[in-house]
Copies of this chain bind each other. A is one copy, B any other.
Amino acid sequence: MSYNNLSKEELKKELENLQKQYKEIQDKNISLDMSRGKPGLDQLAISMGMLDVLTSESDLKAEDGTDCRNYGVLDGIPEAKRLMADMMDTDPDNVIVCGNSSLNLMYDCIAKSFTHGVLGSTPWGKLDKVKWLCPSPGYDRHFMVTESFGIELITVDLHEDGPDMDQVEELVKDEAVKGIWCIPKYSNPSGVTYSDEVVKRMANLKPAAKDFRIFWDNAYAIHHINNDEANQDKLLDIITECEKAGNPNMVMEFASTSKVTFPGAGIAAMASSKENISAIKDLMKFQTIGFDKLNQLRHVKYFKDFSGMVKHMEKHADLLKPKFEAVLKVLNEELKDLEIAKWTNPNGGYFISLDVMEGCAKKVVAMCKDAGMVLTGAGATFPYGKDPKDSNIRIAPSFASPEDLIEASKILVVCTKIATIEKLLAE
Q: Which residues of A contact B (CB under 8 A)?
A: 36, 38-39, 41, 44, 47-49, 51-52, 54-56, 58, 67-72, 99-101, 103-104, 107-108, 111-112, 114-116, 123, 125-126, 141, 144-145, 148-149, 258, 262-265, 283, 286-295
Name the CB-closest residue of B to A146. Answer: B286
Interface centre among A47, A49, A112, A264 (most CB of B within 10 A): A264
Q: Oligomeric state, in number of copies?
A: 2
B-side contacts of A286, CB under 8 Å: 107, 141, 144-145, 148
CB <8 Å contact, B283 and A264: no
How far apart sit A30 and B179, CA to CA, in the bound complex (Å)?
Answer: 52
CB <8 Å contact, B44 and A49: no
Taking a contact as CB atoms closer than 8 A, the residue among B51, B70, B99, B291 that contacts A58 in the complex is B51
Name the CB-closest residue of B to A291. Answer: B100
How far apart sit A51 and B144, CA to CA, in the bound complex (Å)?
Answer: 37
How far apart sit A125 and B127, CA to CA, in the bound complex (Å)?
Answer: 10
CB <8 Å contact, B265 and A295: yes
A-B contacts, 10 listed (Cβ < 8 Å): A38-B71, A41-B67, A49-B56, A71-B264, A72-B264, A103-B287, A103-B289, A125-B126, A145-B286, A262-B294
B-side contacts of A55, CB under 8 Å: 51-52
B-side contacts of A115, CB under 8 Å: 111, 114-115, 125, 149
How far apart sit A41 and B68, CA to CA, in the bound complex (Å)?
Answer: 11
Name the CB-closest residue of B to A37. Answer: B71
- Chain B proximity of A40: nearest CB distance (Å): 9
Task: Add 6 more A-B contacts to A108-B287, A115-B125 (CB < 8 A).
Answer: A68-B264, A69-B264, A71-B264, A107-B287, A107-B288, A148-B286
How far apart sit A103 and B41, CA to CA, in the bound complex (Å)?
Answer: 34
CB <8 Å contact, B39 and A70: yes
CB <8 Å contact, A44 and B69: yes
CB <8 Å contact, A148 and B283: yes
CB <8 Å contact, A288 and B103: yes
CB <8 Å contact, B103 and A100: no
B-side contacts of A123, CB under 8 Å: 125
Name the CB-closest residue of B to A399. Answer: B70
Taking a contact as CB atoms closer than 8 A, the residue among B52, B103, B264 that contacts A293 in the complex is B264
B-side contacts of A107, CB under 8 Å: 286-288
How far apart sit A264 and B264, CA to CA, in the bound complex (Å)?
Answer: 16
B-side contacts of A67, CB under 8 Å: 41, 44
B-side contacts of A294, CB under 8 Å: 51, 262, 264-265
How far apart sit A289 and B140, CA to CA, in the bound complex (Å)?
Answer: 12
B-side contacts of A149, CB under 8 Å: 115-116
